[in-house]
Amino acid sequence: VVCRDGCIKAVGQADVIRNQFSEATFERIIDCSGKCVLPGLVDAHTHPVWAGDRVHEFAMKLAGASYMEIHQAGGGIHFTVEHTRKATEEELFHTFQQRLGRMLRAGSTLVECKSGYGLNLETELKMLRVIERAKKSVDIGISSTYCGAHAVPKGKSATEATDDIINNHLPKLKELKLSGEIHVNNIDVFCEKGVFDLESTRRILQAGKDIGLQINFHGDELHPMKSAELGAELGARAISHLEEVSDEGIVAMARAECAAVLLPTTAYMLRLKQPQARKMLEEGVIVALGSDFNPNAYCFSMPMVMHLACVNMKMSMNEALAAATINAAYALGKSDTHGSLEVGKQGDLLIINSSRWEHLIYQFGGHEALINYVIVKGKVIYQNERCETTSSY
């Protein structure tokens, strides 16, 4: 039962709830006989605001070019930056809205959305304004992240870029927050060899923390950088990627209750070694999942991410579901309101056309005929007519 205020009023057996609410009137009742009700999925890591796709680079990757080889040849992030700088705010908003719609139809009700394809103050703010606009006009929940340190801009050293972010970008974000124009939730840095080293990363993350942003950054992806140790030391809420994390880093994250946002799509598409999900879980790390939707990993679907996590990272289906709901909400600092079906939490849920919830993970790419309803704050945002004519799976 979800109240008019969008929060869950009751969860339990149908007959118990019918008795409890026998006198109540409802705007809508959905018959879920033979179906499953699940929490809305939470995508803990996406880059969804940009222009300039990189479909041409996919062939290069298949031919054996590495991520950094493409990056150094002027492709990768820099290619998208060039196109994003040229795009108008309206163009970016239009494509962003469409992408959010696809995420919603695949079951995501809360999504972390990063800037990071501007690398100059003007374009980063343009991207953050687009995200802010969507927060107010789109039904899906959004946690916004400033990721101005996604790459070192052309013509600058990492130290110069770091100084620019600390002296110009972050003070402007603080000013816009105080005026109520833009509310950013998290700060992110791509801590990587040839991008931002450990010391630059520390300086940027600390400066972001000082203006009230949660630390939630890219670390230990392509090379072991001791990012996990740094994140634990700084009180990071979450660190993403972690393909090259050290054993010490895993222990430090567990102790610091810093979430690991694992991205099976990235490891799969870049043919990287898989993040050590099992070791992290055994050490007590809070493991979350994200799609890493971006021009390099073009995936909107958290059900597919969960499937990959189970097959490639050896997670159980229960672990993957927790990682894509309550743990992903934790990684965004939202687990008190999102990520599970509990009284008092926001009424974000999925109804799937099967009596077994495991079908959401088991069917690889089958979510388009499986997700019957997506509900946000108790309001049906998406109803899939195809499920009405298909027998329960």
Q: How many domains is the chain built from?
A: 2
Going by their DSSP bridges, the two strands 238-241 and 259-262 should be labelled as parallel
Q: Is 167 left (phi over 0), alpha (psi -120 to 50) or beta?
A: alpha
Same domain for 362 and 326: no
pLDDT over 70 at 100, yes or no: yes
**Residue 71: its pLDDT value, please?**
80
**Residue 389: its pLDDT value, please?**
66
**Residue 392: its pLDDT value, please?**
57
Tell me how far apart the alpha carbons of residues 266 and 243 are, in angstroms, rounded to a whole number: 10
Same domain for 136 and 23: no
Same domain for 63 and 26: no
Provide the CATH number for the domain around residue 19: 2.30.40.10
pLDDT over 90 at 316, yes or no: yes
Q: Is residue 239 part of a domain?
A: yes
Q: Is residue 143 part of a domain?
A: yes
Asked whether the beta carbons of 1 and 10 are under 8 A apart, the reply is: yes
Same domain for 69 and 34: no
Same domain for 147 and 97: yes
**Residue 226: its pLDDT value, please?**
98
> Which ranges constitute the DSSP H helices of the chain?
14-20, 55-62, 67-72, 77-86, 89-105, 121-137, 158-164, 170-178, 198-210, 227-234, 247-256, 264-269, 277-282, 302-313, 317-323, 326-331, 359-362, 367-370
Same domain for 292 and 156: yes
Q: Is residue 365 part of a domain?
A: yes
The CA angle 266-384-134, to the nearest 5 degrees, is 60
Longest dimension (CA), the chain: 69
Closest residue by Cα to residue 366 from 379, 352, 350, 376: 352
Q: Is residue 337 part of a domain?
A: no
Tell me how far apart the alpha carbons of residues 143 and 170 are, in angstroms, rounded to a whole number: 18
Domain boundary among 292, 313, 332: 332
Q: Is residue 187 part of a domain?
A: yes
Q: Calculate the dihedral angle through the C-alpha atoms of 354, 360, 365, 366, rounding to the nearest 10 degrees.
A: 0
Same domain for 127 and 28: no
Tell me how far apart the alpha carbons of residues 324 and 39 are, in angstroms, rounded to a whole number: 10
Same domain for 369 and 318: no
**Residue 76: its pLDDT value, please?**
85
**Residue 194: its pLDDT value, please?**
93
Same domain for 276 and 188: yes
**Residue 74: its pLDDT value, please?**
77
Q: Is residue 389 part of a domain?
A: no
Same domain for 30 and 100: no
Write the pLDDT tens digit of every residue in 153-188.
999 999 999 999 999 999 999 999 999 999 999 999
Tell me how far apart the alpha carbons of residues 225 and 192 are, in angstroms, rounded to a whole number: 7
The CA angle 226-232-236, to the nearest 5 degrees, is 110
* Domain carrying residue 265: 41-332
Buried b (16+ CB within 10 A) or exposed e, 74-94: ebbbbbbbeebbebeeeebbe
Question: 277 is written with which tokens?
Answer: 């999900």
**Residue 393: its pLDDT value, please?**
54
pLDDT over 80 at 388, yes or no: no
Query: Residue 206: CA atoms inside 13 Å, Cβ hemisphere, count?
Result: 11
pLDDT over 70 at 287, yes or no: yes
Q: Is residue 151 part of a domain?
A: yes
Write the pLDDT tens digit of every residue in 298-313.
999 999 999 999 999 9
Same domain for 363 and 328: no
Domain boundary among 313, 332, 351: 332
Asked whether the beta carbons of 239 and 253 are under 8 A apart, the reply is: yes
3 state SS of 389? helix
Q: Is residue 391 part of a domain?
A: no
* Three-state secondary structure of 156-190: CCHHHHHHHHHHHHHHHHHHHHHCCCCCCCEEEEE
Same domain for 296 and 240: yes
> Band of the pLDDT at 73, cuts 50, 70, 90?
confident
Question: 234 is written with which tokens?
Answer: 């700084």
- Residues ≥6 apart with Cβ < 8 Å to 178: none
Q: Look-up: residue for tokens 């007959």?
A: 15
Query: Residue 4: CA atoms inside 13 Å, Cβ hemisphere, count?
Result: 4
